[in-house]
Amino acid sequence: MRNSSNNSRIGLFLTSFSLICSGLCCIVDEYILAQLSSNILGNPAQQWPLVIGLMLFATGVGAWLAQFVKEENTLQAFITVELILSFLGGYSPLIIMGAYAYAFLHFKLIFYFISFVIGLLIGFEQPLIATINKKFVGFRSNISMTISLDVLGAAIGTFIWIKFLIGKVEIYHAAFMVTILNLSVALFTYFFLVNNAPTENPKSRRSLIWIGLASLLGLGGMYFSGNFADIAEQQLYTGQIIHKESTPYQRIVMTKHAKTGDVMMFLNGGLQFCSKDENRYHENLVHPAMKYRSITNAENAPLDILVLGGGDGLAVREIRKYKNINSITLVDLDPAVVDLATKNPILMALNDSSLIGDDIKILNPQLPNPSETEVVTMPLLEKDKNGNELLYIIDSVSILHEDAYNFVEDVVSLGKKYDVVFIDFPDPRNESLGKLYSKYFFSRVNLLLKQGGFVAIQASSPVHANHAYLCVGKTMTAAGFEVLPYHDNIPSFNEWGWYLATRQEERLNLHRLAEKLYPLDEFEVETSYLTPKKFFSNTIFGKDIMVNAEEIEISTLSNPKVYHYYVHYGWKIQ
C-alpha cells in the first residue's frame, strides 16, 4: 500500500515535471527557430509569426496523431519522442545554418520541414503525458493540470529566453540546453518505468542505451557546435569574419575581404557599411545639412547636433570636422555597436576615433540619477599641418543608449532643441522600425528643430525600394516638413536616397538653395568624395522615380505603410 502511494507521488511529480518541461521546451524551441529565421532571412515581423504559427499548427497535428498510440505503449512512446526531440531540437540550428550555407536552393524547404517536425513532436508528447497522468488524478483534474502546467512551462521559458538566453547565449548553445532538459525528462521517465515494471523489460533496457547515446550526441554537439557554426556562418559572407556577437537587439558581424581589404559590418545579415564607399554615404548624409544650416545661421552661433542611430561613429566623424559645434548627442539603442566603435582598432581607424575623447560622455539611462555618467577619459587628438596634436574644439559629445522613439518623446517634453538632426536608422524592414518613419515620429522631430534648423535622413533606395522612399518623403511633408529628395550611387548598396528637410514655416526653397551651391568647388570642410556641384546633381531624378508619387500613402503608427511598401514592393525579402 505504502509502495503504491509512493509510486503515485513519484508518478505525479514526474508528469508535473514533464508538463512544465514540455511547455518550456516548446516555447524556447519556437523562439530559437523564429530568431534563427529572422537572423538569416531578415524581416522578423514576418518570420516570427510564420515560424511560430507553423509550429503551433504542427503541434495540433502531433496531438491528433498521439491518439493512435496504445495505452500500454505510452511510456515507451514518450521516451522515444523525447529522445528524437532532444536530438533534432539540439542540432536544428546547425542543420539550418548548414542548409543555408551549402544547400541554399533548398534552404526554405529544409527549414520549414524541421520546424514542422519539431512542432509535431512537441504536440505528440503532450497527450502522452496526459495519458500517463490519468493514472494518478481524475479526469477533470488531469485536463486542468495538463493545460495549467503546460502554460506555466511556457511562461517560465519566455522569462528564461528574455533574461538569460537572447543576446547572452549563442543560439546553438541555447538549443542544446533545451536538449539537456528533454534528456532529463526521458531519464526520469525511464527510471519510473523500470521501478514500476513487474518483470525486466528488454525494451526498457534498449531505452537506457538510446538515452545514453542521445546524451553523448548532445554533449558532443554542445562541444563541437561552435566550430561547425563558425564554418557555416563564414559561408554566408565573402569576407573573412573578424568579429561577431549576438546582442539582445541584433546579430553583429564584421568581415574583411582577403584581397581588397574592404571591411563590412552587417546587422542581422543586412549590410550596414563597407569601408570602400561608406564615405559617399556619410558625406551625403552630413555635409548638405551642415552647409544649409551655415546659410541660415547668420550669427555663426555654435551648433547643437542630434544623431539618431549611427553608433558606428562614421557620421559623427564627418560632423566633428566642423569647428562651430557646441554639442553632439548620439542616440543608439545597442551599446554593443558603440562599444565596437570605441574599441575595435579597424572601426576606430574608419571613424577616426570620433567616439573616444575626454569630452565624450556616455549617458547611462539605467542609473537612478540621469545626471550620472560614465566618462571615457582617453583624449581624442588631431594633428595640424605641422604635426602638432590638437584637441577637437567641442564642449560635449553625449552618447545615450535608448530607443530613439522614446528619446525624442522625452526631449520634446523638456523643450530641448537642435540645429541639425541626423536620422541614420536601418531601413524600415519590420514594424518596430516602421514607427520611426511614421507621421507622428516625424512631427515630434519637427518640434526638436531650432529656427533655421534642418533634418537629414537616409531613406533607402529610390530605385529598389521606390515606394518606401517616396512614402518617407510624403510622410515628412504631412508632418510639417519641406523636403528635398536627393540620391547617389553607393556601389555596396546600389542607388541610395536621402531627404533634407526643414520646417514648412521657414518658407525656404531647398532646391533653389542647392542651385546656389552649384558654383562652389568645395564644402567648408574637407571631404573625400562629395562636392557642392555633385550634391546639386544628386537632387535631380529621372522621371521614372517620381512616377508613383501620387499613389503613395503616408505612414502612421496604426498603419505603417512604409513597412508595407518596403516588404512588398521593395527589395526581395523572402
Q: Which three cell numbers stand for residue 31?
A: 523562439
- List the catalytic residue out of 29, 359, 424, 427: 424
Residue 459, SS3 per DSSP: coil
CB atoms within 10 A of CB 505: 10
Closest CA to 306 of 287, 331, 283, 334: 331
Q: Which three cell numbers stand for residue 574?
A: 523572402
Question: Please, which residues bridge with residue 400 across strands?
Answer: 331, 363
The owner of cell 559623427 is 316
Residue 311 and residue 345 in contact, taking contact as beta carbons nearer than 8 Å? no
Scored b (16 or more CB within 10 A) or e, 265-304 reads bbbbeeebbbbbbbbbbbbbbbbbbbbbbbebbeeeebbb
What is the pLDDT, as a whole number, of residue 574? Answer: 39
d(CA 180, CA 184): 6
DSSP 239-287: SEEEEEEE-SS-EEEEEE-TTT--EEEEETTEEEEETTTHHHHHHHHHH
What is the pLDDT, as a whole number, of residue 168? Answer: 83
Residue 555 and residue 434 in contact, taking contact as beta carbons nearer than 8 Å? yes
To the query of whether residue 424 is one of the catalytic residues in this protein, the response is yes
**Angstrom distances, CA of residue 43 to CA of 95, 248, 278, 310, 555:** 21, 16, 24, 21, 18
What is the pLDDT, as a whole number, of residue 194? Answer: 58
d(CA 102, CA 558): 41
What is the pLDDT, as a whole number, of residue 391? Answer: 34
Closest CA to 268 of 241, 240, 249, 243: 249
Q: Which three cell numbers stand for residue 96?
A: 539550418
What is the pLDDT, as a whole number, of residue 564? Answer: 92
* Ranges of H-type helices in 426-509: 431-434, 439-446, 466-478
Please report, to the nearest 10 degrees, the dihedral formed by the alpha carbons of residues 48, 335, 310, 349 taken in order. -130
pLDDT tens column, 114-144: 999 999 999 999 898 888 888 777 766 778 8
Residues 6+ apart with CB under 8 A from 101: 231, 232, 233, 235, 236
Please state the domain extents for the chain.
2-234, 240-272, 277-569
CATH number of 277-569: 3.40.50.150
* Residues of the chain under the 50 pLDDT cut: 1-2, 199-200, 364-386, 388-395, 573-574
The architecture that CATH gives domain 2-234 is Up-down Bundle (1.20)
CA count, 13 A, side-chain hemisphere, 316: 34
d(CA 171, CA 23): 19
